[in-house]
Amino acid sequence: MSTDDELDATAATAALAQAARIAGYAPSIHNTQPWRWRVRARSLELRAERGRQLPVTDPSGRLLTVSCGTALHHVRLALGAEGWVAEVHRLPDAADPDLLARLTPTGRTEVTSASMRLLQTVRIRRTDRRPVSESAVARTALEAIRTAVTAEGARLHYLRPEDVVELASAADHARTVEAMDPTWTDEMSYWIGLPRDDGLGVPDAAIPSESPSTMVPNRDFGHGGALPVGPGHDRAAVYAILYGDEDSAMGWLRGGEALSAAWLSAIESELTLLPLSAAVEVPGTRQALRRMLSGVGEPYLVLRLGVADPEHAGPPHTPRLPADQVVEIVDRN
Same domain for 27 and 98: yes
In a domain, 254, yes or no: yes
In a domain, 53, yes or no: yes
In a domain, 273, yes or no: yes
CATH number of the domain where residue 176 is located:
3.40.109.10
Q: What is the pLDDT of residue 5?
A: 55
Q: What is the pLDDT of residue 134?
A: 93
Question: What Cα–Cα distance (Å) separates residue 309 from each residue in 101, 236, 264, 288, 333?
Answer: 38, 11, 18, 30, 50
Same domain for 198 and 80: no
In a domain, 134, yes or no: no
Q: What tens-digit pLDDT sequence spans the chain (333 residues)?
A: 344 454 487 888 999 999 999 999 999 999 999 999 999 988 999 999 999 999 999 999 999 999 999 999 999 999 999 999 999 999 999 999 999 999 999 999 999 999 999 999 999 999 999 999 999 999 999 999 999 999 999 999 999 989 999 999 999 999 999 999 999 999 999 999 888 889 999 999 999 988 888 889 988 888 889 898 877 789 999 999 999 999 999 999 999 999 999 999 999 999 999 999 999 999 999 999 999 999 999 999 999 999 998 888 788 899 999 999 999 998 765
Same domain for 81 and 178: no
In a domain, 147, yes or no: yes
The pTM assigned to this predicted structure is: 0.95
The count of structural domains within the chain is: 2
Same domain for 178 and 85: no
Same domain for 265 and 155: yes
Same domain for 118 and 184: no
Q: What is the pLDDT of residue 10?
A: 84
Same domain for 111 and 27: yes
Same domain for 214 and 186: yes
Same domain for 196 and 96: no
Same domain for 91 and 34: yes
In a domain, 131, yes or no: no
In a domain, 132, yes or no: no
* Residue span of the structural domain in which 220 resides: 139-306
Same domain for 287 and 174: yes
In a domain, 130, yes or no: no
